[in-house]
């Protein structure tokens, strides 16, 4: 994880900078570049977005977005997967999905990369929960463990293949077990 702090920038100044690859985030006045996703991270992210959208998009319940910049509460972060309830998806004047999302996702999902700080990622999830996010997942592909965060509750740990992974109430039709999710790494 690369931290860039040549000088203190405001959030507004940060948002005017060109995007980087991988994305940079603005957290507590610092610019922190996310690590480049590797194989396991990429597979889980690539399978998870369509798994969610297949169930929730057509009936206009919610939509999952990969690598979407979300700016709220003095931070600008890029969760690996952000899920927004349909009626909360920001729209522009033409009714199309907006480019700028200035609200917290309803469900935030982070996939830990080998070079990534679990503490930093957990702080991002907890930040989202302060701003009305209903649930956060932290997926650790190396440990084949999923930490589920809910507002004002202890995190829960899911690491047995047969365990059903909890989802937010709006996403009850999304059925995934720990074994299903980490089974994608074998395909």
List the one residue out of 152, 112, 117 whose CA is nearest residue 135.
Answer: 152
What does the pLDDT read at residue 2? 45
- Cβ atoms of 151 and 168 within 8 Å: the answer is no
Tokens of 90: 């920001």
More confident site: 94 or 37: 94
Q: Are 80 and 59 in contact (CB under 8 A)?
A: no
Long-range contacts of 171-175 (CB under 8 A, 24+ apart): 171/52, 171/55, 171/56, 171/61, 171/62, 171/83, 171/107, 173/55, 173/56, 173/61, 174/51, 174/52, 174/55, 174/56
- For residues 98-121, average pLDDT: 95
Confidence of residue 14 (pLDDT cuts 50, 70, 90): very high
Per-residue pLDDT band for 4 (boundaries 50, 70, 90) equals: very low
Band of residue 7 on the pLDDT scale cut at 50, 70, 90: low
Predicted confidence (pLDDT) per residue in 136-164, tens digit: 999 999 999 999 999 999 999 999 999 99
Give me the mean pLDDT over the 19-40 stretch. Answer: 90
| Amino acid 151: pLDDT | 96
Burial 63-102 (b: 16+ CB within 10 A, else e): bbbebbbbbbeebbbbbbbbbbbeeebeeeeeeeeeeebe
Distance of CA 18 to the CA centre of its chain: 21
Q: Provide the β-strand partners of residue 158.
A: 146
pLDDT digits over 38-96, tens only?
999 999 999 999 999 999 999 999 999 999 999 999 999 999 999 999 999 999 999 99
Percentage of the chain modeled with pLDDT above 90: 86
pLDDT > 70: percent of the chain: 96
d(CA 57, CA 46): 16
Under the phi-then-psi rule, with left for phi > 0, alpha for psi from -120 to 50, and beta for the rest, what region is 152? left
Instruction: Identify the pLDDT of residue 103.
Output: 98
Q: How far is CA 8 from CA 5, 66, 133, 173, in A?
A: 7, 29, 28, 45
Give yes or no for residue 37 having a pLDDT over 90.
Answer: no
Provide the mean pLDDT of the chain.
94
């Amino acid at each position: 994880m690369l931290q860039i702090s040549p000088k203190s920038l405001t959030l507004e100044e940060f948002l005017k900078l060109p995007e980087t690859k991988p994305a940079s985030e603005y957290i507590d006045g610092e610019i922190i570049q996310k690590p480049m996703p590797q194989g396991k991270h990429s597979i889980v992210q690539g399978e998870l977005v369509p798994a969610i959208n297949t169930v929730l998009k057509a009936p206009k319940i919610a939509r999952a977005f990969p690598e979407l910049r979300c700016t709220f509460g003095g931070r600008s972060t890029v969760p690996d997967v952000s899920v927004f309830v349909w009626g909360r998806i920001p729209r522009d004047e033409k009714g199309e999905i907006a480019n700028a999302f200035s609200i917290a996702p309803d469900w935030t999902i982070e996939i830990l990369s080998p070079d990534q700080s679990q503490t930093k990622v957990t702080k991002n999830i907890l930040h989202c929960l302060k701003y009305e996010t209903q649930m956060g997942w932290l997926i650790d592909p190396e440990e084949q463990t999923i930490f589920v965060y809910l507002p004002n509750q202890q995190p829960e740990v899911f690491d047995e293949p047969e365990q059903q992974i909890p989802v937010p109430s709006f996403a009850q039709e999304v059925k995934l077990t720990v074994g299903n999710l980490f089974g994608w790494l074998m395909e």
